[in-house]
Amino acid sequence: MDRPRIRIFDTTLRDGEQSPGCSMNVQEKLRLAQQLDRLGVDVIEAGFPFASDGDFEAVQRIAASVRRPIIAGLARACTPDIDRAWQALKVAAHPRIHVFLATSDIHLKYKLRITREQCLAQAREAVRYAKSLCADIQFSPEDATRTDVPFLWQVLEAVIAAGATTVNIPDTVGYSMPEEYGQLIRTLREKVAGIEKVTISTHCHNDLGLAVANSLAGVQNGARQVECTINGIGERAGNASLEEIAMAMRVRPDRYAYEHGIASEQLYSSSQMLAEITGVPVQPNKAITGRNAFAHEAGIHQDGVLKNPLTYEIMTPQSVGVPDSRLVLGKHSGRHALGLRCQQLGHDFERRELDEVYRRFVVLADRIKRVQDSHLLELIHDVNHGKIAAQKFPPAAAVPVGFARAASANAGTHASAAAGAHESHAMTIPASASPIPGAISFAEHHTEQEDYLWGV
Ligand SMILES: [Zn+2]
């Protein structure tokens, strides 16, 4: 009942926006911030006000209009940055200044060209100054995971004494391993004077694909805030993905007995909104929010999911806002799945009619890899009118795999609702390596029993 609560700090609008191709204008940032509010994040890092007038305006407008969450603005450890951040943030209901300064020797020597002593003094002074303006101060020792650990303790003790209320431990370069990152958080809790008065935060990059694992290791060792982004966007390989962090805790409370405030049914629409705003599509196999995250193509999987979703699904699509799982119709699909999709498209076939639809479907699937609702509707139409469907379709190389709005509108079902959201990201699939359609006879490969033997 009294499980520790993890604060979700979303930095899609700051770190995320720094990723190539992901810049957003003020209106877009405002729209996304409103969605992040609906999603239930605790902190929105709205931007880096000193960086540009656009960033300043975005932070200010978000601070003025999004009132529930804490609104954070980033600032380097210097007076002009902190002043600019405060100017943008002071209208917020819950403002936070986020001050950062690199602490690793490599950053001190080559980037900042200051000594450790200068770094320590600058961090302390910056936090003290920020605290004179705003009660809620977060400090980040940039490149913390490559910082000499006793020096990191010293810096953290200094900024806590100067008034920091959250200390964030960035794995700026995505270099840490989960045990190592967890151990670092544990050591800080044990060694840093005053750490029990502040919140420890994680900020992990995904250069080795470990951002989520590292963040969770941090939480298990005492971190109570996780910095993350929608779709995991961010510098280089990105940040820890918000949706993965949130659902790991929801799906495995036996391992991660923590609470958080994310309204998980808003995850899919948040992901889609970001993709739509930036024009950067979500990778199809992205956990939680990718197009294929709840798709089952293999016949045996489809059959299992139709009988009981728990056979192949560890969470329901509805729980993350995908209306339902989408059974992908490809050449490995069985009659059962095809019949159901036809029903959802408004066509309830008798067994013999369905056999005919299935026969033509298999010939088509051999050519175009993935059969969309729009294709299926044409095929059904042709079967109903006795035409040879397969001849109508273009060669595989040119077949778009975007989803058709017409099919979505007709169906009103799970598949189409989810598909509709993807249609702006249509793309073309490569030519199928399949041999000439029909070279292997239907009877040889598509008896009903075979439906359940493929794709295990
Ligand atoms: Zn970062």
pLDDT tens-digit map of 119-130: 999 999 999 999
Cα 87 to averaged position of ligand 1 atoms, centre (Å): 23
pLDDT of residue 324: 60
Give the distance (Å) from ligand 1 centre to CA of residue 173. 8
**What's residue 325's pLDDT?**
53
Q: 235 CA distance to ligand 1 centroid (A)?
A: 6
Closest CA to 29 of 62, 53, 69: 62
How far apart (Å, rounded) are the C-alpha atoms in residues 202 and 222? 10
Least confident of 131-135, 230-234, 254-258, 387-391: 387-391
Please give the average per-residue pLDDT across 408-421, as a whole number.
Answer: 35
| C-alpha 239 to ligand 1 mean position (Å) | 7
CA of 15 to the centre of ligand 1 (A): 5
How far, in Å, is the centroid of ligand 1 from the Cα of 81?
18
Cα(238) to centroid(ligand 1), Å: 8
pLDDT of residue 388: 52
Q: Give 439 Cα–ligand 1 centroid separation in angstroms.
A: 54
CA 18 to centroid of ligand 1, rounded, Å: 9
CA dist 81 and 168 (Å) reads 19
Kindly tell me the burial class for residue 371, based on how many C-beta atoms sit within 10 Å of its own C-beta (0-12, 13-18, 19 or more): buried
Rounded Cα–Cα distance for residues 287 and 317 (Å): 12
| pLDDT the model gives residue 341 | 78
Distance, CA of 222 to chain centre: 23
Q: What is the distance in A from the centroid of ligand 1 to the CA of 142?
A: 9
Measured in angstroms, how far is the CA atom of residue 315 from the centroid of ligand 1? 29
Residue 307, H or E segment: helix 299-307
Query: Three-state SS across 220-265?
Result: HCCCCEEEEEHHHCCCCCCECEHHHHHHHHHHCCCCCCCECCCCHH
DSSP, collapsed to helix, strand or coil, labels residue 139 as: strand
pLDDT at 332: 79
Instruction: Give the pLDDT band of residue 189 (cuts 50, 70, 90).
Output: very high
pTM of full prediction above 0.85: no
**Residue 4 CA to ligand 1 centre (angstroms):** 25
Cα-trace Rg, the chain: 26
- Measured between alpha carbons, how far is 364 from 219 in angstroms, rounded to an integer? 49
Mean pLDDT of 414-429: 34
How far, in Å, from the CA of 421 to the mean position of ligand 1? 29
The reported pLDDT for the residue numbered 136 is: 98
Q: Give distance in angstroms: CA of 47 to centre of ligand 1.
A: 12
**Could you tell me the distance, in angstroms and rounded to a whole number, from the CA of residue 203 to the centre of ligand 1?**
7
Q: Which residue has the higher pLDDT, 260 or 355?
A: 260
Sign of the dihedral through C-alpha 390, 394, 395, 401: negative
Amino acid at 100: F
Indicate the helix (H) or strand (E) that contains 156. Answer: helix 149-161
pLDDT band at residue 276 using 50, 70 and 90 as cut-offs: confident
Task: Say how many CA atoms lie within 13 Å of 110 toward its Cβ.
Answer: 4
Q: With bands split at pLDDT 50, 70 and 90, how would you rate the model's confidence at 323?
A: low
Residue 131 alpha carbon to ligand 1 centre in Å: 23
Please check the confidence at residue 177 and state whether its pLDDT lies above 90. Answer: yes
Provide the pLDDT for residue 300: 81
pLDDT top residue among 192 and 374: 192
More confident residue, 415 or 53: 53
Task: Give the containing element (helix H, strand E) for 64.
Answer: helix 53-65
- Taking only the tens place, the pLDDT of each residue in 75-97 is 999 999 999 999 999 999 999 99
Percent of the chain whose pLDDT exceeds 90:
61
CA of 170 to the centre of ligand 1 (A): 7
Long-range contacts of residues 306-309, Cβ cutoff 8 Å, at least 24 apart: 306/336, 306/337, 306/340
Asked if residues 418 and 323 have their Cβ atoms less than 8 Å apart, the reply is yes
Q: If you measure from the C-alpha of residue 14 to the centroid of ligand 1, how many angstroms do you get, rounded to a whole number?
A: 9
Question: What does the pLDDT read at residue 441?
Answer: 37
The 10s digit of each residue's pLDDT in 353-367 is 899 999 999 888 888
Name the 3-class secondary structure at 10. Answer: strand
Q: Where do we find the tokens 């109903």? A: 384
User: What separation, in Å, do the N-terminal and C-terminal C-alpha atoms of the chain show?
Assistant: 40
Q: How far is the CA of 135 from the centre of ligand 1 (A)?
A: 23
Distance 20 CA to ligand 1 centre (A): 14
Mean pLDDT of the chain: 84
What share of the chain in percent tops pLDDT 70? Answer: 82
Both tokens of 407, joined, read 């099919």
DSSP H or E segment with residue 296:
strand 295-296
Specify the pLDDT at position 401. Answer: 33
Ligand 1 midpoint to CA 31 (Å): 22
Q: How far is the CA of 317 from the centre of ligand 1 (A)?
A: 30
DSSP character at residue 92: S
Within 10 Å of residue 373's Cβ, how many Cβ atoms? 23
Q: How far is the CA of 234 from the centre of ligand 1 (A)?
A: 7
Report helix, strand and coil shares of the chain as percent, to nearest 5: 50, 15, 35
Question: Ligand 1: distance of its center to the CA of 206 in Å?
Answer: 10
> If you measure from the C-alpha of residue 319 to the centroid of ligand 1, how many angstroms do you get, rounded to a whole number?
29
Compute how many other C-beta atoms are within 10 angstroms of the C-beta atom of residue 11.
28
